[in-house]
A and B are shown apart, each in its own frame.
Chain A
Amino acid sequence: MTSLLTYTFKNLPNTSKWALRFCVRPLSSSSQLQAAAASQTKSKKTLAKPNIRNIVVVDGVRTPFLLSGTSYKDLMPHDLARAALSGLLHRTSVPKDVVDYIIFGTVIQEVKTSNVAREAALGAGFSDKTPAHTVTMACISSNQAMTTAVSLIASGQCDVVVAGGVELMSDIPIRHSRKMRKMMLDLNKAKTLAQRLSIISKFRLNFLSPELPAVSEFSTSETMGHSADRLAAAFAISREEQDEYALRSHSLAKRAQDEGLLSDVVPFKVPGRDTVSQDNGIRPSSLDQMAKLKPAFIKPYGTVTAANSSFLTDGASAVLIMAEEKALAMGYKPKAYLRDFTYVSQDPKDQLLLGPTYATPKVLEKAGITMNDIDAFEFHEAFSGQILANLKAMDSDWFAQNYMGRKAKVGLPPLEKFNNWGGSLSLGHPFGATGCRLVMAAANRLRKEGGQYGLVAACAAGGQGHAMIVEAYPK
């Protein structure tokens, strides 16, 4: 995730050129999309459990997801988060004082607003009596925000919780070096001029070299893109397959955008700029164009490129989660139930991005359903190679037996039900905000396509993963 950061830093001119080239290119879709029959009439059991409150998503919104360094570049994270919260208030008309609690996920923290949930909530006009906290779990931070909300409601502590996530990659906290910081702190404590002078005399020019936020996995010192490239190689996934998958994502996203399916997006009037109403990273191209790009991480022969990776994104999302009886009492027609969920973690070196493979069977078994019961898959796309590696891993008996302790493979999600409205590769991936987007995409797809169960899954830095079952609310 953060690996992308370095990449962009190093290759800024490159990327923007690339972006330009792609912007002018019209949709050259070769989509294999065969949209599932829009009106499925299956009658499956509901996943309600006895003695546990039913928890629903009333609705959810997000700001348009923008390439970082574009229209949001002068904002602070809480500005974006506030925009999502305002959008949610507007969309749902929920009375502010009904909200019991607010939780936001974020990854790269702005030090001034480390509890960004609270700052955004205050600014968005929520009651100052509504507590708020911020969680972080890399790319599944807002998933964690949502499941925390679910837990709070399930345990009877709250009835109405707003969960969301925000990431602003246009600005990141670049620090003074440790030596410089130490000197500045020592200076603060120094009492006499002599003491101060003696501290200052220790100053060296290299104290001025700045410290960037961690760009690599702390435990392994490997950047995520590098790990993704190795993962793709381990599963023998070719550059062509990765480019094709990326093209599919962009094409599907483009179609969804054109057909107005991305209804969770709320327009955002950026102070001092025009109103932003659309995601701006969707750039379907041609395989030929994509094949021209040089590998971004493992040079010169790797397979992960800028075109088949998710890009650095600014954006925020928020969902309104309630106990079902509360929602009904307030006259809402909820969009979906949030059902079983799970978190997994594994080797952060060689299986960094395989979270979905581990989380999927676990959550299905928990819910007592199978892969076949799922009508809408919404998987977080960090890299094409990562998605394809997860698909191969799920389709491999060998992997299941040797690494997951299962008798047989997990099984392959059918591609025609998989990320049908685009994914993180094309829509963008503001680290802290993607989880809510996935849940809303699943919920909206189920309503649109008539399915009953959606499966949300994502990988995250640290070798962690998450999956959750979303059940359509009966119409």
Chain B
Amino acid sequence: MVASRAIGSLSRFTASRTLRCSGYICRSFTRSSALLTRTHINYGVKGDVAVIRINSPNSKVNTLSQELHSEFMEVMNEVWSSSQIRSAVLISTKPGCFIAGADLNMLNACTTSQEVTQISQEAQKMFEKLEKSTKPVVAAINGSCLGGGLELAISCQYRIATKDKKTVLGSPEVLLGILPGAGATQRLPKMVGIPAAFDMMLTGRGIRADRAKKMGLVDQLVEPLGPGVKPPEERTIEYLEEVAITFAKGLADKKITPKRDKGLVEKLTSYALTIPFVRQQIYKKVEEKVRKQTKGLYPAPLKIIDVVKTGIEQGSNAGYLSESQRFGELAMTKESKALMGLYRGQTQCKKNKFGAPQKEVKQLAVLGAGLMGAGIAQVSVDKGLQTILKDTTLPALGRGQQQVFKGLNDKVKKKTLTSFERDAMFSNLTGQLDYQGFEKADMVIEAVFEDLNLKHRVLKEVEAVIPDHCVFASNTSALPIGEIAAVSKRPEKVIGMHYFSPVDKMQLLEIITTEKTSKDTTASAVDVGLRQGKVIIVVKDGPGFYTTRCLAPMMSEVIRILQEGVGPKKLDSLTTSFGFPVGAATLVDEVGVDVAKHVAENLGKEFGERFAGGSLEMLRQMISKGFLGRKSGKGFYIYQEGVKKKDLNSDMDSILASLKMPSQPDVSSDEDIQYRLVTRFVNEAVLCLQEGILATPTEGDIGAVFGLGFPPCLGGPFHFVDLYGAQKIVDRLRKYEAAYGKQFTPCQLLVDHANNPKKKFYQ
């Protein structure tokens, strides 16, 4: 074992280490030729079992690249041609990763769908050969086994997975706007049944090992080990290999069969699926559901259904052909490019480009146990951060503590946490009404009511008790951080951390730095955010920062559209059919009418006419009637606990009627309404980049999609400009400018891009 590992990582180990083990090499490997020539794969033979170990150099994960592909083929050919080898084990020696998927750069390098189809067909061929191997191959899976990795694994004769939290199997291709292009559309339905296969491929959800075992996706589980005489991760992989070898031998000796016993329900289902009529019904149902959810904006799911159907109804040859062709077509779609762009952006925004903070935050304090404060506390304690939650009254504090407990307990109900883990996490939370313990806090995040005077008071109170190194972060959606920091004795330690509600669900964290914020303070805030599991954008200070600032003009337009007589339901359906996950009217209800008004007033003052449009009177009247949105039970809609369907709030009719404005027919078609909303959003986003609020277009896209629900299929405002064409957007803006004036005047950067089609935000 020691020897094999040394060889596996030869390139990284010092000579002395290799030498020490050299005695073992001859013994455990009967054949060690050509070991050193490969970079991604090495293999040795134990008895009559070939052990193929994957470990791509200089990368945290293994990806199915062209190189890995060809090395694997080479090794398999040796395995097949050797008379001494009777079976094989395929394993990754990289901790926490089997194969994380296909190499996306390989796909991005392709310029035509034919090229992509070609890649798919090569992979199909290799995996088919693997599937038909007379020498059984056991995939030993530890860590992520996704996309192409899963396709490789399910082409093997047997799968053994570690029951580790990091071991996740799945087909996430659909999330990138493509489909599994190396046979999964054909193999998965046979392996786990049509319904489960659709679920995997259409949702892209990751499946934990124990669930995978139940589904028949893996054949055996191996428990992760604790410490022995070497690190747990290292020994776990060795153990997995040892277990896999015994199964490989068993398969070769025909002592074990790869077939598994199916339960009664499973047998019945698979019987039902032999009836063509039943199958047709399933295709129809799934397609209906997909159409309803994607509103026709995402081509990949429908193609997946189509390819699966082709394989089952017309045989696997037709299926494979269809798979590779659709794969090629999808890879060239705008949607896929947008989604892949988002994926890359998300990966970038999960890194701390400011480096490690000088002092890691160990003790956090959150001021205000409201929805936001408690949410921030929840995402902190469940990552093991010691957190103080402070409020001024016992009932308010109790409500916040209950919110944290409920958030954790819901995970227990979903069985993603044990009750014991919940208790341990919850004990990281200290609820209190005073400033006790703040002298040990490394970071304080205030989430008190959005009122500058209050924030000033809180800041002064906190600064009197916290240590010098402690960061003061303000969770505000619109108050400029510089103004909050104005009363601080140590403005270099003041920063904005804008969380989105509900904090435990929304991935985005917008961090706002002022001129005076020190780099270490930023590094510390990003570090905390990453530990809380957030995707982070760092923007400059200014009214509304980036996210709120983009949203405000769109909201202003929402009100105008409502005033022009478009009903909330109609408006919602127009926005969701454009790809927004939440309708515009519902969004106002969700955000809270009072918050919307507050923000609109503030930003309206700062930005003047560009943010005008609808009349704020509507929001004022709604507030005066107590229609604050979901939190008060009434807004544009009526909300009732436990009732999913929401009805229009008929009391809104009089308000809408009293503020009615004539609409302008030439800019009021359904499409125009959609574009009036989106172009104002996009224009403001580009202006943020132009003004330097945003550092990169990537952060702009991530912020818009993950924080505000900008249609993911468009990839965010900047991808949208690149893919849709700056000229077309400017044309739209000019048209609306003619009708409404300055609010639609395109910003300079956008005009520049329109004038020069070569200019792209993403090269």
Q: How far is the CA of A236 from the CA of B247 in the complex (A)?
A: 18
Question: A392 vs B226: C-alpha distance in the bound complex, in angstroms?
Answer: 14
Whether B227 lies near A350 (C-beta < 8 A) is: yes
- A301-B228 contact given A218-B420, A221-B418, CB 8 Å threshold: no
- Nearest CB of chain B from residue A443's CB, rounded to whole Å: 34
Q: Are B235 and A236 in contact (CB under 8 A)?
A: yes
Instruction: Say whether B225 contacts A233, CB under 8 Å.
Output: yes
A93 within 8 A of B: no
Most buried by B among A230, A347, A399: A230
Contact bitstring B219-251, A, C-beta under 8 A = 1, else 0: 010010111111110010011000100110000
Task: Determine the chain A residues whose CB is within 8 A of the CB of B420 once the complex forms.
Answer: 218-221
CB atoms of B220 and A235 under 8 A apart: no
Report, nearest first, the 9 A-B pairs whose CB atoms are least far apart.
A350-B226, A234-B228, A234-B225, A235-B228, A396-B229, A219-B420, A233-B239, A230-B223, A234-B226
Give the residue of A226, A298, A402 whose beta carbon is less than 8 angstroms from that of B227.
A402
Contact of B230 among A226, A230, A233, A398 (CB under 8 A): A398
Query: Which residues of chain B come closer than 8 Å to A398, judged between CB atoms?
Result: 229-230
- Residues of chain A contacted by B239 (CB below 8 angstroms): 233-234, 236
A399 to B243, CA, bound (A): 24
Contact B246 A236 (CB under 8 A): no
Question: In the complex, which residue of chain B has the Cβ closest to the Cβ of A300?
Answer: B220
Segment 221-269 of A: residues with Cβ below 8 Å from B: 221, 226, 229-231, 233-236
Report A413 CB to chain B, min CB distance, Å. 17
Question: A219-B420, A220-B420, A233-B239 are contacts. A392–B229 as well, Cβ < 8 Å?
Answer: yes
Cβ-based interface call for A53 (8 A): no
Point out the residues of chain B lying under 8 angstroms from A221, CB to CB: 418, 420
Give the distance in Å from the alpha carbon of A13 to the alpha carbon of B247 in the complex: 28
A230 in contact with B225 (CB, 8 Å): yes
22 contacts between A and B (CB under 8 A): A218-B420, A219-B420, A220-B420, A221-B418, A226-B223, A229-B223, A230-B223, A231-B226, A234-B228, A234-B235, A234-B239, A235-B228, A236-B239, A298-B223, A301-B243, A350-B226, A350-B232, A393-B228, A398-B230, A399-B227, A399-B228, A402-B227
Q: Does A8 contact B (CB under 8 A)?
A: no
Residues of chain A contacted by B243 (CB below 8 angstroms):
301
Q: Inter-chain contact count A-B, CB under 8 Å?
A: 57
Cα–Cα, bound, A221→B230 (Å): 25
A333 on the interface (CB 8 Å rule)? Answer: no
Q: Which chain A residues border B225 with CB–CB below 8 Å? A: 230, 233-234, 350
Residue of B229, B243, B247, B420 with most chain A CB atoms under a 10 A cut-off? B229
The chain B residue with its CB closest to the CB of A352 is B226
Cβ–Cβ contact A235 & B223, under 8 A: no
Chain B, residues 299-317, CB within 8 Å of chain A (1/0): the string is: 0000000000000000000
For A351, give the chain B residue with the smallest CB separation.
Answer: B226
- Cα(A398)–Cα(B227), bound, Å: 10
Given A233-B239, A301-B243, the answer on whether A349 and B223 have CB atoms closer than 8 Å is no
Chain B's nearest CB lies how many Å from the CB of A305?
A: 16
Q: A235-B229, A350-B227 are in contact. List 19 more A-B contacts (CB 8 A).
A: A219-B420, A221-B418, A229-B223, A234-B225, A234-B232, A234-B239, A236-B228, A236-B229, A236-B235, A298-B223, A301-B220, A301-B247, A347-B226, A349-B226, A351-B227, A389-B228, A392-B229, A393-B229, A403-B227
> Hey, which chain B residues are within 8 Å of A396, CB to CB?
229
Across-interface contacts of B247 in A (CB, < 8 A): 301
With a CB–CB cut-off of 8 A, which chain B residues contact A351? 226-227
Q: A218-B420, A226-B223, A233-B239 are in contact. Are A301 and B246 (CB under 8 A)?
A: yes
- B418 near A234 with CB under 8 A, answer no
Contacts of A229 in B (CB 8 A): 223
What residues of chain A lie closer than 8 Å to B220, measured between beta carbons?
A: 301
Q: Which chain B residue has the least Cβ–Cβ distance from A349?
A: B226
Count, chain B residues at interface, CB 8 A? 18
Interface string of B81-97 (1 = CB under 8 A from A): 00000000000000000
Task: List, in ascending order, chain B residues with CB within 8 A of A402's CB.
Answer: 227, 231
Known: A219-B420, A236-B235. A392 touches B227 (CB 8 A): no
Question: Interface size (A, Cβ < 8 Å)?
Answer: 26
What A residues does B418 contact at CB under 8 A?
220-221
Min CB gap A444→B, angstroms:
34
Chain B min CB distance to A441 (Å): 29
User: Which of B227, B231, B243, B420 has the most chain A CB within a 10 Å cutoff?
Assistant: B227
**B463 → chain A, closest Cβ, in Å?**
39
CA distance in complex: A174, B83 (Å)? 59
Determine the chain A residues whose CB is within 8 A of the CB of B227 once the complex forms.
Answer: 234, 350-351, 399, 402-403
The smallest C-beta distance from A35 to any residue of chain B, in angstroms, reads: 30
Residue on B nearest A227 in the bound complex, by CB? B226
Complex CA gap A220/B220 in Å reads 21
How far is B227's CA from A351's CA once the two chains are assembled, in angstroms? 8
A166 to chain B, nearest CB (A): 29
User: From residue B280, how far is it (CB to closest CB) to chain A in Å?
Assistant: 38
> Which single residue of chain A is at the shortest CB-CB distance from B223?
A230
Interface digits, A193-233 against B, CB 8 Å rule (1 contact, 0 not)? 00000000000000000000000001111000010011101
CB closest residue in chain B, given A350: B226
Interchain CA distance A297-B238 in the complex, whole Å: 20
B228 contact set on A, CB distance < 8 A: 234-236, 389, 392-393, 399
Q: A234 to B226, alpha carbons, bound, how many Å? A: 6
A207 to B247, CA, bound (A): 43
In Å, the complex CA distance between A337 and B231 comes to: 40
Point out which of A226, A235, A402 has the most chain B C-beta atoms below 10 A from its C-beta: A235
Q: Are B226 and A230 in contact (CB under 8 A)?
A: yes
In angstroms, how far is the closest chain B Cβ from the Cβ of A121?
36
Return chain B residues, CB-CB under 8 Å to A347. 226
- How far is B238's CA from A28's CA once the two chains are assembled, in angstroms? 35
* B527: min CB distance to chain A, Å: 26
Q: Which residues in A have their C-beta under 8 angstroms from that of B232?
A: 234, 350
Chain B's closest residue to A298 (CB) is B223
CA separation between A2 and B611, bound complex, in Å? Answer: 68
Q: Find chain B residues with CB under 8 A from A233 CB.
A: 223, 225, 235, 239
Closest to A222 in B: B223
With A and B bound together, what is the CA distance between A236 and B238 in angstroms?
Answer: 10
Residues of A within 8 A of B223 (CB): 226, 229-230, 233, 298
Question: What 0/1 pattern do residues 196 to 235 of B give for CB contact below 8 A with A?
Answer: 0000000000000000000000001001011111111001
Q: Are B226 and A399 in contact (CB under 8 A)?
A: no
User: In chain A, residues 376-430, which have Cβ atoms closer than 8 Å to a Cβ of chain B?
Assistant: 389, 392-393, 396, 398-399, 402-403
- Cα distance A235–B418 in the bound complex, in angstroms: 27
* Complex Cα gap A396–B231 (Å): 12
Chain B positions within 8 Å of A301 at CB level: 220, 243, 246-247
Q: Which of B234-271 contact A (CB under 8 A)?
A: 235, 238-239, 243, 246-247
Contacts of A349 in B (CB 8 A): 226
Q: With A and B bound together, what is the CA distance between A226 and B220 in angstroms?
A: 16
Q: Which chain B residue has the least Cβ–Cβ distance from A299?
A: B220
Min distance, Cβ A347 to any Cβ of chain B, angstroms: 7
Taken together as a complex, chains A and B put the C-alpha atoms of A67 and B223 apart, in Å, by: 31
Q: How far is the CA of A403 from the CA of B227 in the complex (A)?
A: 8
Residue of A nearest to B418 (CB): A221
